[in-house]
Amino acid sequence: MKKQALFFFTLSLMLALIPKVLSQYQYFISPDYQNFVRIPVNIESKLSVTVCSSTDGQPVAGIPVTIKPQWSASFVKYSDTNGKVEFTVNPSCSGNMTIIYSSSEGWFATITTYVNALPAALVSAKYDDVQYMDPVGGEDIIMNLTVKDSETLSIVSNPKWDINVKTEGLTVNPTIIQSISVVSNVYVLKLSVSPRSISTIGTYYITVQASSGNLLPLPFTFKVLLREPAIMLHYKFATGEEISLAPHESGSGMEVKKDCSYFDIYFYDSKGRPLIVNFIYGTDMLTIVGQAGGSPYTIKAGDISYKWYTDDVESEGQGNKLRVFFTLTETYYHITPHVQAGIGGYLTTSEIELIVATVKTGFDIWTFITNPYFFIVFIILGLFIVTRITGRKKKGG
3-class DSSP state of 375:
helix
For residue 385, pLDDT beyond 80: no
Cα separation, 146 vs 122, in Å, equals 8
For residue 17, pLDDT beyond 80: no
For residue 40, pLDDT beyond 50: yes
Cα separation, 241 vs 154, in Å, equals 39
Cα separation, 20 vs 316, in Å, equals 97
3-class DSSP state of 388:
helix
Helices H / strands E in the chain, number of each: 3, 30
Residues forming beta bridges with residue 48, ordered by sequence position: 86
Domain 232-359 has what CATH class?
Answer: mainly beta
Phi-psi region of 77 (alpha: psi -120 to 50; beta: other; left: phi over 0): beta
pLDDT of residue 301: 81
Q: Which of 90, 104, 96, 76 is nearest to 36 (CA)?
A: 96
pLDDT of residue 391: 58
List the single range of 23-37, 134-148, 349-363 with lowest mean pLDDT. Answer: 349-363
State pLDDT tens for residues 235-277: 999 999 999 999 999 999 999 999 999 999 999 999 999 999 9
pLDDT of residue 7: 45
State pLDDT tens for residues 149-197: 999 999 999 999 999 999 999 999 999 999 999 999 999 999 999 999 9
Domain 121-227 has what CATH class?
Answer: mainly beta
Alpha-carbon distances, residue 238 vs 252, 259, 326, 357, 361 (angstroms)? 19, 10, 11, 15, 14
Supply the CATH classification number for the domain 24-117. 2.60.40.10
Task: Evaluate whether 252 touches 357 at the Cβ level (below 8 Å).
Answer: no
- Pairwise pLDDT comparison (176 vs 6), residue with the higher score: 176
3-class DSSP state of 75:
strand
